[in-house]
Amino acid sequence: MAGNGVEKTSLEVTAMNFAYPGKPPFISNFNLSLQPGSRCLLIGANGAGKTTLLRILAGKHMVGGRDVVRVLGRSAFHDTSLVCGGELAYLGGSWSRTVGCAGEIPLQGDFSAEFMIFGVEGANPERRQKLIELLDIDLRWRMHKVSDGQRRRVQICMGLLQPFEVLLLDEITVDLDVVARLDLLEFFKEECEQRGACIVYATHIFDGLETWASHIAYVEDGTLKRAQLMSEVPELTVAKTLIKVVEPWLRREREEREKAAAVKALAPPAPRVQQSASSLWGSSRHMAYYR
């Protein structure tokens, strides 16, 4: 709750449309609202649009006007202080073996984990120490020699040093061992429950998430098919595990895609219409800019 007794919305997406340059509209009329303390799982098949959505929420793409994607009541794209101040954090992608990254700036060379972590300015020493211990990081690790999972731990540590209010996670636990993953999920839960942080987590790994998540959002081809409280997913009371709930959703999707492809293959060829890339891209409803 905000100080004036009115509940503050962490994330608000209203009638959002989006297209990649030269491609037809991908996301149309997307709406989502999350309050502080929410832990929302973002589920969908490969190519459904999870990364695209997270990048839009992170303010990396401009979509429509200032009111379309709001984080903490501010425009995710226009209000750059959200990211600079650490209130809005995005953790996705992975560092390559030979190149480390500070944010999105590649750093070539031999750096220690200590150099990377202590190089983040303004971090609270207690929070930093807690994260180093939680992620079991050896500060002497050389970043170009460590394993994928060890490098991922350093990346996550750096990304969490600022006490975010909205955190967007794109499949970041994929390289972590079971203990590191479970401890990290517990840390995220505490951040939501104790500080009112809000997390959107895109993943294909569902182990342990049945009781971790408060909400689930399921996207199919850029369309939000479901957005509901975990406690209100009727299938979960029967199936018990998330994987058993989501599997039929994804199988139905695949079957429908295959049926549509079969129908298309039988249909006579449509007359060729000359359409330039710019006419697909030129619709202002779907116009987007990138950073």
Ligand X SMILES: Nc1ncnc2c1ncn2[C@@H]1O[C@H](COP(=O)(O)OP(=O)(O)OP(=O)(O)O)[C@@H](O)[C@H]1O
Contacts with ligand X by CB under 6 A lie at: 20, 23, 26, 44, 46-52
Q: In whole angstroms, how close is the CB of 98 to ligand X at the nearest point?
A: 23
Q: Which two tokens stand for residue 162?
A: 């600022």
Q: In whole angstroms, how close is the CB of 68 to ligand X at the nearest point?
A: 18
Closer to ligand X by Cβ: residue 52 or 214: 52
Closer to ligand X by Cβ: residue 128 or 204: 204
Q: In whole angstroms, how close is the CB of 17 to ligand X at the nearest point?
A: 14
Closer to ligand X by Cβ: residue 47 or 65: 47
Closer to ligand X by Cβ: residue 45 or 131: 45
Closer to ligand X by Cβ: residue 46 or 275: 46
Closer to ligand X by Cβ: residue 49 or 100: 49
Q: Where are the beta strands (DSSP E) in 157-280?
A: 166-170, 198-202, 215-220, 223-229
d(CA 57, CA 69): 7
CB 149 within 8 A of CB 179: no
Give how far the C-alpha of residue 127 lies from the chain's centroid of Cα atoms, to the nearest Å: 23
Pick the closest to residue 77 from 58, 54, 103, 52 (CA basis).
58
Per-residue b/e over 58-96, b at no fewer than 16 CB within 10 Å? bbbbbbbeeebbbbbebbbbebeebbeebbbbbbbeebe
Residue type, 198: C
Query: How close are the terminal C-alpha atoms of the chain, in Å?
Result: 32
Q: Which two tokens stand for residue 58?
A: 């992170």
Q: In whole angstroms, how close is the CB of 158 to ligand X at the nearest point?
A: 22
Q: In whole angstroms, how close is the CB of 282 to ligand X at the nearest point?
A: 16
Q: In whole angstroms, how close is the CB of 203 to ligand X at the nearest point?
A: 9
